[in-house]
Structure 1
Amino acid sequence: MNSTLFRRTRSRLLSAIAIACAVSVAASSASLADPSEPSQVTTQELLSDALAAAGETEANLVEPTLNSEVLEFGTGEGAVFVQATEEGKSLAIGAENVEREFSFGLPIESAPSDVQMLDDGTAVFSDDEIDLALQTHDDGAIRAQTIIHDADAPHEFRYELGLPEGSFAEIAQDGGVDVFQSFPDENESVLTSRFEPAWAVDASGETVRTWYELHDGDLVQKVDIGEDHEYPVVADPFWIPAIIIAIRVTSIVIKVGSKTVKYAKAPASRVVNALSSFKTLSYRTGSHTFKLDKSGMKHILQRHHPKYWDGSSKSSQTFFNPKMSISDVRNLVHGAMKQNQSKLKSGGTNKRIQLEGTYNNVKYKMVIDRGRVVQFYPR
């Protein structure tokens, strides 16, 4: 499976990563299963007990809506989609809180409309062999818990990875799986997301041996259930995007799951190459035209984007999410211009204008000097 799995247009999937793209889930939705059924309460308790036994913390979950055979979780860091694969026999997850489309297939034959919702926002899918409980956190992380009911059920689960071009996955020393974006021209790779080390517990809370392997680019979780273990067994992959947690003088500290990595000062050639085909954004209101040119975009990226950061910082330094593309930043600026149309029209292009607001859940400050965008950054 590749990143063309999701047949939504790029403008739909990358409306503004925020990382930066909040997707409205207010559209009319099909009715989901009644969460009051007793069996669902049992499933919810099972999952809660499994998390506690594994030493995991329960998080705030996002409840999805079902729209046109697509299950949408609108998180604070962009949307998570669940829909059928092109073959229509299984499900796949697509995450927006990444620079380009990212997806992974779920090891179950089901359809989005088959979902059963638990009270806490967990989406449960079932087939003849297993149940799969999907939880999307409000920070964009995704937890997929496989419920193995008996010894006849599979003990190996394949998650087909649909990675963007230039990305690759590898097993980390702690047993997790790191996903990197490579920059061949700079002989460099950047950690963009990861699957935390696998865990599994049985019905009594005992640890069950489990691990990840990579086969033909897919993530495979193997679960070694012994005769002494009690069913059902819950096994858990947990995918987490990169999150900025701190800033140092010469590096940005990034938290990706249990890992802490640093973004150091980027080579000047990176932003130059990235902007080689950049076209000036022009926005006209009344008799005035406001522009974001290549020079302005370069300044924005070098000051406020982890991938292109030039090492400069202030006491109140802020950064865009590291997964935002240049197109995403451009779209944010364009949206902010439209949002402030009346102020720009009255202000004109002969003076300096400072604007603040929120666009697609991104709080921003924008400075326009004589019609040119000279500053734009998240607050």
Structure 2
Amino acid sequence: MHHTQDRSARRRRTHARILVACCTAGAVLLTAAGAHAGTGDAGSRASLAVQAAETVERVTGTSDLVPGTPVAGGATRAEVGDETSAARITAPATADGAVELAFGSDVLRLTLPGSADAQATTSANGTVVYPGAGEDVDLAVQPNRDGVRALITLKDADAATEFRFPLGLPADAATETLEDGSVLVTRGEEYLGTFDAPWAKDARGEAVPTEYRVEGGALVQTVRPGPGTAFPVVADPAWFIPIAIVAGRLLLSQGVKSISKHAAQRMAQRGISQEMVARTVKTGKKTKGKSPGTWKYTTGKIWVVINKAGNVVSVGRN
């Protein structure tokens, strides 16, 4: 279940996701999400928030981030996509609140494993940080073009290494851990989204072993620093919405309405991204499928089968 760097890199290229840009050197301009008690305390918190944001953004880059706007109570909300394929992502005001992602009529909540005393602060690039969310731990939330990342920063070797993110899933939703370490979320045969295979990097950019398990209604991430690990370590549970925004425009333009559970499983197993599916439907050779009422789209690399209702029902590599 360990994260593989080659596969992760391929996903980032095909989805135009993360690790494609470094944050600008120097101070990050920040705006506080909540009121501060005094000048000295405010200055100290701002300094810690700058450090927390810089640490995360050096690892993730900032080119795919979607900045949000403040809402009541100190939360931050970002609208991702357009009127035909939109998601609403809300980062909570404190580090014990829930990240909320609403897509259509479905709402998923991922509760952060931090303290109520750690308040949200937003960087100029859109990263919402929670300095001091735990002992020797910072948290961050990054709304982005494909969904949302919740990031953990282990500041030193004394930091905790296991983190529980209680899940609030839509009614009748179920989770399934796949071979690559990702966690599929489905409802019957309907694909709702994916927690991508986890990753963690140390201060030298080296991979740190990490994995998920789903336990007691929570997504649990374990990070395993070793004797040679350079701190801080940044680790990431990332949730991707059912139709990635970039791919979604292509899919919707071709009459594709959804991806089935079976197809989503095959995509994860075979390293096929939603964008690859979208482009195959748009540019591939169209032939009749084996089952009545289905169509098969084929390019040099992959094939996609769609039924008459507009659902992707199977995918594969040639």
SS in 2 for 1:49: helix
TM-score (norm 2): 0.61
1:146 Cα deviation after fit: 0.4
In structure 2, what is the equivalent of residue 133 of structure 1?
140
- Equivalent positions of 1:192-271 (< 5 A) are 192-243=192-243, 244=248, 245-246=250-251, 254=259, 259-260=273-274
Alignment partner of 1:174 is 2:180: yes
Alignment partner of 1:311 is 2:316: no
SS in 2 for 1:206: coil
Distance 2:255 2:69 in 1: 40
In structure 2, what is the equivalent of residue 365 of structure 1?
none
Alignment partner of 1:43 is 2:40: no
Contact preservation (8 Å) 2:185, 2:192: yes
Alignment partner of 1:62 is 2:72: no
1:31 Cα deviation after fit: 6.5
SS in 2 for 1:246: helix
**Partner AA of 2:230 in structure 1:** E
In structure 2, what is the equivalent of residue 107 of structure 1?
113
**CA distance 1:214–1:122, change in 2 (3 Å):** same
**CA distance 1:68–1:247, change in 2 (3 Å):** closer
SS in 1 for 2:53: helix
**CA distance 1:181–1:153, change in 2 (3 Å):** same
In structure 2, what is the equivalent of residue 75 of structure 1?
80
**CA distance 1:311–1:124, change in 2 (3 Å):** same
Contact preservation (8 Å) 1:179, 1:191: yes
Q: What's the RMSD between the two structures over aligned residues?
A: 3.9
Distance 1:111 1:128 in 2: 10
**Partner AA of 2:308 in structure 1:** G
Contact preservation (8 Å) 2:181, 2:211: yes
In structure 1, what is the equivalent of residue 159 of structure 2?
153
Contact preservation (8 Å) 1:193, 1:239: yes
In structure 1, what is the equivalent of residue 301 of structure 2?
none
Distance 2:77 2:253 in 1: 36
For structure 1, list consecutive stretches of 5 or more residues without a partner in the other structure.
Answer: 1-28, 183-188, 268-308, 314-318, 320-379
**CA distance 1:228–1:94, change in 2 (3 Å):** same
Q: Deviations over 1:327-365 (max 9, x none)?
A: xxxxxxxxxxxxxxxxxxxxxxxxxxxxxxxxxxxxxxx
Distance 2:210 2:172 in 1: 29
**Partner AA of 1:179 in structure 2:** V
Distance 2:107 2:180 in 1: 26
Contact preservation (8 Å) 1:123, 1:133: yes
Distance 1:249 1:73 in 2: 27
**CA distance 1:30–1:73, change in 2 (3 Å):** farther
Contact preservation (8 Å) 1:117, 1:123: yes
SS in 1 for 2:103: coil
1:246 Cα deviation after fit: 3.3
Equivalent pairs, count: 229
**CA distance 1:30–1:201, change in 2 (3 Å):** closer
1:251 Cα deviation after fit: 6.5
1:165 Cα deviation after fit: 1.3
- Once the two structures are overlaid, the 10-residue window that deviates more, 164-173 or 96-105, is 96-105
SS in 1 for 2:239: strand
Contact preservation (8 Å) 1:63, 1:122: no
1:63 Cα deviation after fit: 2.6
* Partner residue of 2:98 out of 92, 99, 106: 92
SS in 2 for 1:125: strand
In structure 2, what is the equivalent of residue 292 of structure 1?
none
1:128 Cα deviation after fit: 3.8
Q: Deviations over 1:88-138 (max 9, x none)?
A: 9821111111432211111111368x112212111101324211111112x
SS in 2 for 1:235: strand
1:249 Cα deviation after fit: 9.1
**Partner AA of 2:232 in structure 1:** P
Q: Deviations over 1:224-272 (max 9, x none)?
A: 11011011100001101111343799976758996447999xx9xxxxx
1:41 Cα deviation after fit: 4.0
**CA distance 1:45–1:221, change in 2 (3 Å):** same
For structure 2, list consecutive stretches of 5 or more residues without a partner in the other structure.
Answer: 1-32, 37-41, 282-288, 293-305, 312-318
